[in-house]
Every structure is written in structure tokens, then in C-alpha cells.
Amino acid sequence: RLYNNRYAGDQVFRITPGSDEDVRVLKDVLEHVKVDFWQPNSASLIGPNATVDVHVKRGDTRGLRARLKQEHIDHQVFISDLQREIEKQTGNRSSRQRR
Amino acid sequence: SESQHDYNVYHSLEEIQSWMFEMNRTHPDLLDMFSVGKSYEGRPLYVLQLGKRGHPHKKAVWIDCGVHAREWIGPAFCQWFVKEGIASYQDDSVMRRLLDQLSFYIMPVFNVDGYHFSWTTDRFWRKTRSKNPKFHCRGVDANRNWKVKWCDEGASSHPCDDTYCGPFPESEPEVRAVAKFLRKHKKRFRAYISIHAYAQMLLYPYSYKYATIPNFSCVELAAHNAVTALYSAYGVKYRYGPASTTLYVSSGSSIDWAYRSGIPYAFAFELRDTGYFGFLLPESLISPTCTETMRAVTAIASGLLKKC
């Protein structure tokens, strides 16, 4: 499996904080979960009504989803399994062939 | 061989470098390959000069791809641009005029170490692969490391952050090598273009401040023409404008450095998409993405041959 299957179960969330308060709460929430910012590049750049895409590790997806729900912050999953999407991106070419 | 190179798939660093050697070998009339230096891990930083040989001081356009490792559509576009330039030189009068009157310096993979690492170990690596003995985290954001308002708003001074600006400006050998080359030839360069993903935007200076550039009307016109040309291919809409307001404020970026160095037109493209596949743009979208971006870049280049 590509990358030794390390991304299996990882997800990418798209989060849309609606207000300044949402932004403040979201920054706080994301302080406590190790996520990889896809867009924007860092928490400091989060702004109201601007989408935030973050790569969330498999073990953190449920907790983060619960927190966002609890805080009534709009969110959706735009990639539900990163490993599967990675494998789809380069078709069925084997990793050896790729490497 | 050249005919076997598939431009509709993503290629590893080795494949891209082999392709560059092959293209250089088979098109000596339009291509010249050279290196501007070495990366942190010692890899050569190859550049292809595309254009009809002619006056040594022909005006020039710089295009770099792959500053951020995980943005694979960038290197795919740089390969596409070279292929299209050569394939259409004979029959396309616009491309022939561009290649007769301009030299395009194309760097398919700026961040060679990071790109290789994103193929072998971490698909979502962004930064370079430099080490700092004082910290366990590696890498610097190569688009926060340029000597212009370095490490100010929109960049981080923490080595573990993805927008880490580095220990000092041009600390990254990749940035230093390109900056040195551009400084040496800056009188010739009319445009600097850096290819990134994703957001579908065309950005120009300034990134580090909310201010209007002196030649705003010409740059705005060039950007407008570019996104109009891009839209004409598949109806994909790009936003465009100063990076600080269109995206966000960030310091130490390559387009601000290029502009402050005297290159009158500096652009950063954020290619497809707007957040459906993100960095994992499927190979089936390489062709439309590169075709539309080709129109935008040639529109910018054509504008350089006119007076504004």
C-alpha cells in the first residue's frame, strides 16, 4: 500500500466558521488537535466565513467532529478516506513503479 | 524517450529529471538545460531555458513549479508548458512569436528534496528538507524565506510550523540559488511566475502589506486578461488580485521579492481545485488544468510584448 497505508482512515474536514466568535472557538479547538492545515496555511490565518481545510488523523476524527458539532460550527468531510484518495490519484501504478 | 513521457500522469523527481535531459537532447534548437545550484540534500536544481536561440539579452520570463512539495499539479504544469511550447512552435504563430522574442526559464521542481520526500514518505510534506540542529522539526517554507519583509506577518518563526520562515532570509539553498540567478539576470526578466495549488487564484504583489503597486493598472490588466483566457478553455473561474487582500497577508514570498527586485510582473498561480480534491487532484484533471493555465501564462507573456 502506498506510504505503508499510513493515511488509512485519515480525513480532510472543511470547516466554515461563521462569526468572529466561531473563529475564536475554532482556533481554540484546533490548538488541542494535531491537524495539518491545507488551507489556509496556519491557524493564525483563519477568518470568518473563510473555509478551513484540515487533514485530521484517523484517531482524532471522531473527537473533532463531536467538538465542532458541540460548538455548532459548520463542517463537512470532503475527503473521507485519504489513503483511498491517494491511491486513486496515481491510478493503479504500483508504488515501486512510482518510486 | 520523449514520446513515452506521459504528461497526463504525475511523475517522480527522477522521471522528471530524465525527461528534462531527454527534451534537452532532442530539442537543442529550442531548449537549453542547466543547473542554478544544489539543494540542501545535494540534488541539482535544474532549469530549462525554452526559446529560439537568439540575442543573448532577449527578454525573459521565469516560471517555477513545486515550491511546496505536496502541490504536484505544479511540476505537471511546468512539464506541460515545455511540451506545448515545443510542439506548437512550428504551427502556432502566437507561440512562435513568444519563443522568438522571449526566453522562458522553467524550473519544473523548485523544492526537489521536498518533492522526492512527498513521493516516498509523506504525501503532504510542504516545506524543504533542511535540518536545524537546535530543533527536531525539519524544513522551511520556501515561500516565506525570501529576503523581503522576512518573517513578519503571515509567517512563523517556529521550526515546526508549516509556514516557518527559516533561521535567516535565503537560508534555504534552493531559495538562495534561484534568487542569485534572478539577481544576476534581473535586467532581462520581465515576469516572474510561481505555480502553486490549490484555490484557483491568480495573485500579484503585495503579499506583505495592504498597498497598491506602482504599476497596478498594467498588472491588473495582465491578470484580468490571464483569467479571461483561462476561463475560455473550460469555464473555470479564477479570482485575481493582490495576494494580501485576495488570499491573506504573508511575508517573505517569492513574488514580493521578485517585484521588489525590479521584475515588473510577478504572479503566483494557485491552480485547481477549490477544495474537492485539494492536493490530490486526480490525473484525469491534469490535462484540463494545464490546458487552461497554458492559456493564462501565454496571455501574460503576450502582454509583455506590448506596451502598457
> Is the pLDDT assigned to residue B42 strictly greater than 60?
yes
Mean pLDDT of B42-60: 92
- Binary contact (B163, A51; C-beta < 8 A): no
ipTM of the prediction: 0.91
- Tell the residue number behind the cell numbers 525590479, with chain if given: B262
Q: Which helix (H) or strand (E) holds A61?
A: helix A61-70
Name the interface residues of B facing A (CB cutoff 8 Å): 9-10, 12, 119-124, 141, 154, 156, 161-163, 198-199, 247-248, 250, 275-283
What is the reported pLDDT for B153?
A: 94
Find, in chain A, the residue whose alpha carbon is nearest to that of B282.
A89
Which of B72, B163, B274 is best to mutate for the A interface (most A CBs within 10 A)? B163
What is the reported pLDDT for B57?
A: 79
**Quick one: how many helices (H) and strands (E) in chain A?**
4, 4
Query: How would residue B55 be classed by pLDDT, with cut points 50, 70 and 90?
Result: confident
Q: pLDDT by residue (tens digit) across B161-200?
A: 999 999 999 999 999 999 999 999 999 999 999 999 999 9
Find, in chain A, the residue whose alpha carbon is nearest to that of B156.
A42
> Is the pLDDT assigned to residue A95 strictly greater than 50?
no
Q: Which of B3, B189, B278 is nearest to A55 (CA)?
A: B278
Torsion-angle region of A67 (φ positive above 0: left; ψ -120 to 50: alpha; else: beta) = alpha
What average pLDDT is seen over chain B? 96
In chain B, which residue ranges form alpha helices assigned H by DSSP?
A: 13-26, 73-87, 93-101, 112-120, 173-184, 216-234, 243-246, 254-260, 286-304
- Binary contact (A42, B281; C-beta < 8 A): no
The SS3 of residue B169 is coil
Q: Which amino acid is at B57?
A: H
What is the reported pLDDT for B2?
A: 67
What is the reported pLDDT for B298?
A: 98
| Set of chain B residues whose Cβ sits within 8 Å of the Cβ of A92 | none
Cα B113 from Cα B109, distance rounded (Å): 9
Strand order across the beta sheet in which B44-50 lies: B31-38, B44-50, B102-107, B59-65, B189-197, B265-271, B201-204, B239-242
> Is the pLDDT assigned to residue A70 strictly greater than 60?
yes
Determine how β-strand B59-65 pairs with β-strand A74-79: unpaired
Query: How would residue B307 be classed by pLDDT, with cut points 50, 70 and 90?
Result: confident
8 Å CB contact between B32 and B21:
no
8 Å CB contact between B159 and B137:
yes
> Is the pLDDT assigned to residue A98 strictly greater than 50?
no
Of B124, B276, B281, the CB nearest to A36: B124
Partners of A13 in beta bridges: A54, A77
Mean pLDDT of B43-57: 91
What is the reported pLDDT for B56?
A: 75
Mean pLDDT of B221-227: 98
Q: How far is B174 from chain A (nearest CA, A)?
A: 21
**How many CA atoms lie within 13 Å of A18's alpha carbon, on the beta-carbon side?**
6
Q: How far is A71 from chain B (nearest CA, A)?
A: 23
Q: Give me the active site residues of B, please.
A: 270
Q: pLDDT by residue (tens digit) across B125-154?
A: 999 999 989 899 999 999 999 999 999 999
C-alpha cell at B11: 511523475
Instruction: Quickly count: other Cβ atoms within 10 Å of residue A48's Cβ.
Output: 14
> Is the pLDDT assigned to residue A97 strictly greater than 60?
no
8 Å CB contact between B249 and B214:
no
What is the reported pLDDT for A92?
A: 52
Cα B51 from Cα B82, distance rounded (Å): 10
The SS3 of residue A84 is helix
| Set of chain B residues whose Cβ sits within 8 Å of the Cβ of A86 | 123, 280
